[in-house]
């Protein structure tokens, strides 16, 4: 995970100023002081990449049960007792972008929540999710490339310095987790299952007629 120049480690109290500067340079929203308190104190799972002890990238997440999430996110998983991981922030400083650091942090985070790192099977998170500003096309492309799928559009979700902006929820299902299926989705899957043998038979008959 580490190179001689770039070190991956947990964010600590001594990193607070660097974290604040990185977030303020990366996002159009202003985080409250209490948020930074949680980032540097260990309340949140906060991982950084450092060059000579200066933070150049970070990922901040929270492990919790889906029923403890905000109401707009509870439909991500049908079982209300399922654990999930919410990514609150992912940022890379301008001079270190396009070097794979965001992907490195994302892989690091997923590996943390694995059996190999001490998680028992029934406590493994079933989904990794986040919100992103709808106009942030580079972030949206990044998450799509890494297998995240769009779940919902949240109107006026972000309070920005100059007004409000819509948010988009993206989800990556893990460890056997899957999206919540509506009644329409279930009916379609049942119909597809029932008609599958007939579809194969019709294709077979069509091939015979052509021969």
The residues that are catalytic are 86, 131
Between CA 148 and CA 142 the distance in angstroms is 9
169 - beta bridge partners?
131, 152
45 - beta bridge partners?
61
CA distances from 208 to 101, 199, 201 (A): 55, 14, 11
Between CA 200 and CA 203 the distance in angstroms is 5
Which alpha helices (DSSP H) does the chain contain, by range?
16-26, 33-41, 101-112, 137-145, 183-210
């Amino acid at each position: 995970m580490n190179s001689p120049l770039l070190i991956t480690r947990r964010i600590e109290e001594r990193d607070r100023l660097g974290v604040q500067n990185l977030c303020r340079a990366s996002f159009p929203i202003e985080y409250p002081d209490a948020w930074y308190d949680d980032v540097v104190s260990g309340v949140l799972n906060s991982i950084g990449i450092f060059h000579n002890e200066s933070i150049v990238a970070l990922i901040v997440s929270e492990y919790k049960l889906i029923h403890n999430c905000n109401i707009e996110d509870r439909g991500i998983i049908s079982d209300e007792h399922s654990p999930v991981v919410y990514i609150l922030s992912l940022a890379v400083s301008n001079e270190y972008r396009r070097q794979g650091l965001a992907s490195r942090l994302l892989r690091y985070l997923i590996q943390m929540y694995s059996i190999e790192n001490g998680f028992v099977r029934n406590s493994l998170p079933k989904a990794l999710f986040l919100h992103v500003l709808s106009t942030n096309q580079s972030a949206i492309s990044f998450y799509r490339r890494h297998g995240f799928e769009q779940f919902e559009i949240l109107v006026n979700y972000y309070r920005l310095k100059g007004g409000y902006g819509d948010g988009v929820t993206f989800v990556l299902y893990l460890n056997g987790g899957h999206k919540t299926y509506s009644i329409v989705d279930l009916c379609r899957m049942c119909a597809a299952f029932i008609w599958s043998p007939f579809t194969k038979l019709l294709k077979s008959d069509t091939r015979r007629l052509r021969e």
